[in-house]
Each structure stands twice: as structure tokens, then as C-alpha cells.
A and B are shown apart, each in its own frame.
Chain A
């Protein structure tokens, strides 16, 4: 066999992996929207659900436990599909087993029920807890989402609240490839001296890998990998509408209740998803006034120099103006909050389990996209910050360095940065 033939054979053998990889490269996440599906989905999104609703002939309709009677009841600011106010917060819990061989529990303490026998109370989680969450203390008006300092949780129990996120541009987020999110994770690790995601002195995030290999991107914990999954989980947990993607929640008060069937069909879920995907992306509105425009431009530079852009990455996976890396970042003990409403629940990390395969840590939060941030108050996961200024100052953990730099800025520079953030508006 001549040298040329051998070389050719080697070339063929070496090119096989490339060809196979090219052939098996993940297909695009893009999908088309049909106007009819969007219109039907809008009706479902705005629909006021009732027990035994006519739109859910196979199931029991709304409930038996729920947080709202329609999607738009929470996603309403400034328009349908937007964020929700503080009074639309959801209370989540996690019960870590204090005794071995006891399963971990997590879920939602629902605010309402179709009947008194299903009504959920905090005492269902632990006898020492009050019946309901205490109201915010008046001296902490800006910390509306926080629990009062006097409210001490029993050992092994975490309660947290979630503010309603806006759904603008959700389709673009859904279409970002997993590889782009993982690339951001690797870039951050390389940039910050190979630091890992479990430290707080460097803004190194991590992509949440789900058990099926997909990367989470929706939800405050980044626990949902697709818009369709996010919609189905919300329908089940917030409205009690069981669907093919997720069953309706079992009431803490009456665990033996079984729904007669699914409340939503797959087609209805797809229609709601299509409507959410059709929501326009937020826009950056440049002020027409020269002074305001100059301030906003200076603020945009400050946004980068202060290090805000380390996590709130302006562009990701071909989506411009997202201002998020969609990674989980440790935000410090002050912003601690566990729990979630995944079914089955994500495996939560134990204190000595910090592997990438574990679920989100209580202090980990997905970087929220900043587009439309000017119109989607309140801020942070539980809406404890009423203004952007407060939200920045409340950054802790991996965001503390940037917050400290913002704090040390002269007031006029702080105003410039806020002027830039105020250009990020919801679609009109």
C-alpha cells in the first residue's frame, strides 16, 4: 500500500467523526407560529377559569387549588403577558428531610381553593407555622416580598416567594440553543480564573442541566427548558389545570383527591404557548431629547464598566438586547429562597453536594433578562425591590462587587445608569 493511499485512508477515518457530528448536530429550536393558534391561545390566556369549566371537559376545571383564575390575572403589567404585582406573588416551599430515608418535598402553598376542604395552610407544612404568611412589616415597605424578621422557619423548611415574570420575547429565549448558554458558562469560567459556580467572589454562573440533558432557561431558578414546559407547569400549578405535560397539584389539605382527567389538551397547551411566543420582544427606546439621550448612552457605558454586563449579557445566542446569560448565579444568603413547583421535583443539592447535576441551590437564581425592565416592577425574585435603584443595591453574592461599585458612584452617574435601564421598555 503506497503512502498516498495510507494517507487518504487516515484522512477518511479522521473525517468520520466530523461528518457524524455534522449530521447529528442539534436541530434548530425555531418553530413557526400559526395565526389561528395564536388567536385561540389568546382566548385561553385571557379566559377566566371556573370549577368544571366548559373549556376543560375532561377534567375538573379550575383547581382544586390555585393562585389565580386566569393567566392574565398575574401576567398583566403593563399589558397581557407582562409581569405581575407583588400581590400576585406565589409562595413556594421545600421540606428537607431531617430523618434519613424521608423524601424531600417541594411545591406551592396555593392561595385559594375551590372548597374549604382543599384550602392549603402553612400549618400543613409544619405545625409550628402560622396559618398564613404574616403581612409585611410597615417599617420595611420596600421589602414587600420578604418575610418579617420575626418569622422564624422551623429547621428543614424553606419558604420563598416568586414574583410573576414577564413573557415578552419568550419565543426568542426559547430559540436560543443550549450550546450558546453553555458557551457563556465556559467563557465566564475562563474569564474569572477558572473559578467555579459555587463561589461568590466571581460572577461565574452555571447552566442548569436537567435530568434529560436539556438546559433550563425559564423560571426564576431556570428550572424549565422550554416555553411549552413553562406554560404547562404554570397552568398546572397556578390554575390547577392538569395537562399532558404536568398533572395538577395535589392539595396539601386533601392528598387523596384524584382529578377525573386532564383539564387541558395538548392542543390547548400548544395554543397558549403559541400566544406567549407571539408576544413582541421588548425594545430599547432611545430618548429623543439630546440630554436624556446622552445620559442614557453614558449609563450604558457605565453598565459595562461596573460589571453589570458580566451576568446581564447584552446579547446571547443571536438575541440582541436580552441582557441575561440565562445562568444560575449565587446571590448570597440575603436572597436565599428554595422550593419550586416541578413535578417530579428537581433534585435539590444537599450541603455537601455541589455537583453540576444537582438542582438549583437556595441562593442560586437565574439572571433575569433586563429587557422591558423599566415596565416590569417590582424586581428580584420575590419583588422585594420596588425600584431599579433598590434592586441594584440588593444584589449580593456574585453581584455584590458590581452593586458596591454602583453604590460608590456619584449620584449623577447613578442617575445615568438608571436612565439607561429606563430605556429598556416593554413592547407597546
Chain B
């Protein structure tokens, strides 16, 4: 029988019983996750099957530190407590969801467990089980690479994670502003260097290291802006404990977030936006009518994009943002969705106009252009994140209402279809 558990990022995971108590890596966020012990299916069953008490493997024995020493400092992440645990422990579930850092003593130094306090899982049997798992086996694959590389890699990742987490702890808004400023500076420098790079005899990427660096910096900043916006959106749109609000903010998370944004754009909004771009190219000087037509193309594209992002962050998968679901969600969001879409469209338009003006100044080597571009990107990023938060809250509210409606409907009509999205919006075709 498989053990089902969840990572803090919301990813549902499964593992074999024989892996209980070991650490695994979340395929989505990359964080280590402890595989919990199988929970008793009935209240009062406090003992685990004997088969789960496995012997310590030979490889684990190799890494057992001497008795009394601290084996390893590791981190455990929140695991949704089982219903039985919540019933037994009363109000401890909030405590259990906190991120804990515990020192795991060596097997021989483990004192007899006296209860749940101090452990993320609690329970005497679990303490014994942890004794067996205790030494999270080092990744076998990592053993093949040099020690110094592993050390550097780990420390660098920790440094980045710490830095970003520290910055994030100060608040999302300052971080977004800072990233927006960096994005503006990098983007401005990249735009200024682009003509020389394109005219370089050996190709643009060999033009100058600064051109490549500013381009990469711009991508990284854009990725972090996307990740932070995702975080804001997921936190606001989270329903019933799902959502990706705890996503890690490493480099991979930034690129994943950026890829998610691009994917959401390509999955639908790219078509009207592309038509709008072609129209802009071919319509000559813009008259009022042309601006109206472009708005008719761009506003739905932006609205589609926003709703798709909301679904992706609420469900944790890009593939969930299908056109049908996006349309359903947009319909349910109603006036709030329209207002947020119009507001984001206004922000995007203002940012685009400012960027064009700023780029002109930058190419004339006027420092005011950089200031203008940084203000545009910072303002655009923060305004968009704030509007995404509004959209996420509206999404959560509609999902909650829909769930209540579904539950009441299921009591009155047993034939009602269940909601397709436990964390999101039910189907429009359900009985209402």
C-alpha cells in the first residue's frame, strides 16, 4: 500500500511503505520532504504493522555518526496532519505546519520518546521509526561528484535561498520594487547595447559580455518577478489548503515561474496579442478607431492570461488552464475579473508607452531614460502583483461559494456532478 502525503508546496506525493521515514525530494519545488509513517485507518489503532519496522540498511549504517554526535541537521517541512492526529492533538495542527528544524540524534543516543513534543510527527512508534530512518541517506548520485563541488553547490543554493527568503520576509512589495528596478536597469542597458550587438561581425552573443550579462540579469529578474507574483497569487487564490503559496524562490523556481507565465501566454493570449501586433504594424498611424480595435484584441488577451495564471497557481499545473476552464473561471469571476483585467491592461499600456519613451532617452544616452524605465518596471510589477492578489481573492471566494453550493446541491440531489476542481472552480454544468 502506498503512503500518500503532500509537500509544503502543495504537490501530492506517493511513496512505498518501505520508504516510510526516509527523505525524498519534491519533484516540483525540489525541497526535501519527509515521508511520513502510514497513518492508522481507524481511531485507536496506534500500532504500525511489523512489516514497516525495517532493518537499517547497510548504506545507512555507513553514514551513522558515532553515538552521541549530532548526525545531521536537516529540515522538515510541513506535512498535512492526518485527520486522526488533528482530533487527537487538538489545536496542534498549526504548529505542525510550521517549518521545523530539528537535530536528529544518532540511533544509540535517542532517548525513549515521551510523546509528540519536539517531533514533527509525534508518537512513540514514530520516534522509533525515526531511529531507523534517522540518517537521511546522502544522495547516492551526489557521491559521484567531487566533494568540493557538492559543497559549493549546496552552499550557493543555501545562500541564494537564504538571501531571497530573507528579502521575502521583509515583505513582497519591497522585493518586487527592487526586482522591478533591477529589471529596468538591466533591460535599459540591454536595449542600449542591442544595436551594437546586432551589428557585431561575429554575432550578437559575442558582441560584449555586458550584453549577455544584462540579458541574463533581465531574464532572472523577470523570473523572480513572476515567481513573486505567483506567490502572491497562489496565497490569495488558495482554497482548502491547496495552492503553491510555499514555492521555493531559487533560480529554478524563477525560471519555472517565468516558463509558466510564458506558457500561459502561449496557450491562448498569444493569438489575439499576435493579431494586435500585426494590426499595429500594418495599420499606419494610429487613429482612435485603431486604438479601440487594438484594445478589443489586447484586453481579452490579458484577461485570458490573468485567469490562466490564477488557475495555474491555484491548481499547480499549467495543463489545468484549459480554454474551457479559463472561460468558466472568467465567467464566474464576473465584474471583479473585468475590473482587474481593465486595470492590468491600463498598467500594461502605461508601462509599454513609458518603455518606448524611456528607450528613446536611453539611446540618446540620457540617464533619465534609465530612471523612467526603472520606474515603469517597478511600478508595473507591483501594480500587477497587487491586482493579481485581488483576482486571486475573488477566485478563492467564487471557488468557496461554488463548493458550498455543490455540497448543498449534493445533499438535495445525489445526481449532481462533483466539482472538477477541488481547489478551484466547479464546472458550470453542475446543478445549480
Q: Measuring CB to CB, which residues of chain A are less than 8 angstroms from any residue of chain B?
A: 14, 17-18, 20-21, 24, 26, 177-180, 182-183, 186-187, 191-196, 198-199, 201-202, 209, 213, 307, 401-402, 405, 408
Closest Cβ of chain B to A415, distance in Å, is: 19
Taken together as a complex, chains A and B put the C-alpha atoms of A384 and B333 apart, in Å, by 68
Which residues of B148-205 have CB atoms within 8 Å of chain A's CB atoms?
190-196, 198-199, 201
Could you tell me if B285 and A193 are in contact, using CB atoms closer than 8 angstroms? no
Contacts of B281 in A (CB 8 A): 183, 186-187
- When the two chains form their complex, are residues B359 and A186 in contact, meaning their CB atoms are under 8 A apart? no
**A202 touching B292, Cβ below 8 Å:** no
Q: Does B356 contact A (CB under 8 A)?
A: yes
Residues of B within 8 A of A180 (CB): 282
How many Å from the CB of B202 to the closest CB on chain A? 11
Q: By the criterion CB–CB under 8 Å, are B289 and A194 in contact?
A: no
A17–B296 touching, CB < 8 Å: yes
In the complex, which residues of chain A have a beta carbon less than 8 angstroms from the beta carbon of B282? 179-180, 183
B196 close to A201 (CB less than 8 A): yes
Q: List 20 A-B contacts (CB under 8 A).
A: A14-B296, A18-B293, A21-B293, A178-B284, A179-B283, A183-B281, A183-B282, A186-B281, A187-B281, A192-B198, A193-B190, A195-B191, A196-B360, A196-B363, A199-B363, A199-B364, A201-B363, A202-B363, A209-B285, A408-B201
B199 to A194, Cβ gap below 8 A? no
For B190, B355, B364, the residue with the greatest tally of chain A CB atoms inside 10 Å of its CB is: B364
Docked complex: B324-377 residues within 8 A CB-CB of A: 355-356, 359-360, 363-364
Give which listed residue, A14, A182, A187, A195, contacts B363 with CB less than 8 A.
Answer: A195
**Is B17 an interface residue when CB atoms closer than 8 A count as contact?**
no
CB distance from B375 to the nearest CB of A (A): 16
Q: A199 CA to B191 CA in the complex, in Å?
A: 13
User: Is A186 touching B280 in the complex (CB atoms < 8 A)?
Assistant: yes
For A402, the chain B residues whose CB sits under 8 A away are 199
Cα-based distance from A66 to B423 in the complex (angstroms)? 84
Give A17 to B292 CA distance when docked, in angstroms. Answer: 7
B interface residues, Cβ below 8 angstroms from A? 190-196, 198-199, 201, 280-285, 289-290, 292-293, 296, 355-356, 359-360, 363-364
- Residues A193 and B192 in contact, CB atoms below 8 Å apart: yes
Given contacts A179-B283, A183-B281, A183-B282, contact A193 B363 (CB under 8 A): yes
Residue numbers in A under 8 Å from B355 (CB-CB) = 194
Contact of B194 with A192 in the complex, beta carbons under 8 Å? yes
Contacts of A307 in B (CB 8 A): 199
Name the contact of A405 in the complex, choosing from B196, B201, B289, B363 (C-beta under 8 A).
Answer: B201
Which A residue's beta carbon lies closest to that of B355?
A194
Q: Which residues does chain B contribute within 8 Å of A199, judged by CB atoms? A: 363-364
Establish whether residues A21 and B290, one from each chain, have CB atoms under 8 Å apart when the complex forms.
Answer: yes
Which of A179, A194, A202 counts the most B-chain CB atoms under 10 A from its CB? Answer: A194
A194: contacting residue among B284, B290, B296, B360, CB under 8 A: B360
Given contacts A26-B284, A192-B195, A193-B193, 18 further A-B contacts (CB under 8 A): A18-B296, A24-B289, A179-B282, A179-B283, A180-B282, A183-B282, A192-B198, A194-B191, A194-B355, A194-B356, A194-B359, A195-B191, A195-B359, A195-B360, A201-B195, A201-B196, A202-B195, A405-B201
**A-B contacts at CB below 8 angstroms, number:** 70
- Give Cα distance in the complex from A202 to B195, angstroms: 6
Taking CB atoms, residues of chain B closer than 8 Å to A401 are 199
Give min CB distance, B352 to chain A, whole Å: 10
A182→B284 contact, CB < 8 A? yes
The complex places the Cα of A402 from the Cα of B281 at a distance, in Å, of 26
Q: Which 7 A-B pairs have the closest CB atoms?
A: A194-B359, A193-B194, A202-B195, A179-B284, A193-B191, A196-B360, A195-B363
A287, B194: Cα distance in complex, Å: 38
Kindly state the separation between the CA atoms of A182 and B286 in the bound complex, as whole angstroms.
Answer: 11
Least CB distance, B103 to chain A, in whole angstroms: 54
Residues of A close to B194: CB separation below 8 A:
192-193
**Complex contact A193–B359 (CB within 8 A):** yes
Shortest distance between the CB of B286 and any CB in chain A (Å): 10
Look across to chain A and name the residue whose beta carbon is closest to the beta carbon of B356.
A194
Whether B293 lies near A17 (C-beta < 8 A) is: yes
Q: How far is the CA of A21 from the CA of B288 in the complex (A)?
A: 10
Closest-by-CB residue of A relative to B196 is: A201
Selected from A182, A194, A196, A202, the residue in CB contact (under 8 A) with B285 is A182
Q: How far is the CB of A194 from chain B (nearest CB, A)?
A: 3
Measured between beta carbons, the chain A residues less than 8 angstroms from B192 are 193
- Minimum distance in angstroms from A79 CB to a CB of chain B: 35
In the complex, residue of chain B having the shortest beta-carbon distance to the beta carbon of A14:
B296
Chain B residue at minimum C-beta to C-beta distance from A213: B285
Please determine whether B363 and A194 come into contact, CB atoms closer than 8 angstroms: yes
**CB <8 Å contact, A196 and B364:** yes
Write out the residue numbers on chain B whose beta carbons fall within 8 Å of the beta carbon of A17: 289, 292-293, 296
Q: Give the nearest-CB partner of A26 in chain B.
A: B284
Nearest-neighbour CB distance to chain A for B211, whole angstroms, equals 11
B4 to chain A, nearest CB (A): 41
CB distance from B140 to the nearest CB of A (A): 48
List the B residue with the shortest CB-CB distance to A13.
Answer: B296
Q: Return A74 CB to nearest CB of chain B, in Å.
A: 33
A187 vs B355: C-alpha distance when bound (angstroms): 16
- Cβ of A198: which chain B residues have Cβ within 8 Å of it? 364
Interchain nearest-CB distance for A327 vs B (Å):
14
Give which listed residue, B195, B283, B290, B364, contacts A193 with CB less than 8 A: B195
With a CB–CB cut-off of 8 A, which chain A residues contact B198? 191-192
Complex Cα distance, B284 from A209, in Å, reads 11
Contact B283 A20 (CB under 8 A): no
Q: Which residues of A are found within 8 Å of B280, using beta-carbon distances?
A: 186
Chain A residue at smallest Cβ distance from B283:
A179
CB distance from A414 to the nearest CB of B (A): 15
Separation of A187 and B282 alpha carbons in the complex (Å): 10
- Contact A21–B289 (Cβ < 8 Å): yes
Q: Whole-angstrom distance from the CB of A266 to the nearest CB of chain B?
A: 28
CA distance A401 to B192 in the complex (A): 16
Distance of A197 from chain B, by nearest CB (Å): 9
Taking CB atoms, residues of chain B closer than 8 Å to A191 are 198
A302 to nearest B CB, angstroms? 12
B206 to chain A, nearest CB (A): 15
How many angstroms between the C-alpha atoms of A198 and B363 in the bound complex? 9
Contact across chains for A195 and B195 when beta carbons are under 8 A apart? yes
Q: Which residues of A contact B359 (CB under 8 A)?
A: 193-196
Question: Contact between A20 and B364 (Cβ–Cβ < 8 Å)?
Answer: no
Please, how many angstroms separate the alpha-carbon atoms of A304 and B416 in the complex? Answer: 65
Give bound CA distance, A55 to B170, whole Å.
87
Query: Among the interface residues B195, B282, B283, which one has the most CB atoms of the partner chain A within 10 A?
Result: B195
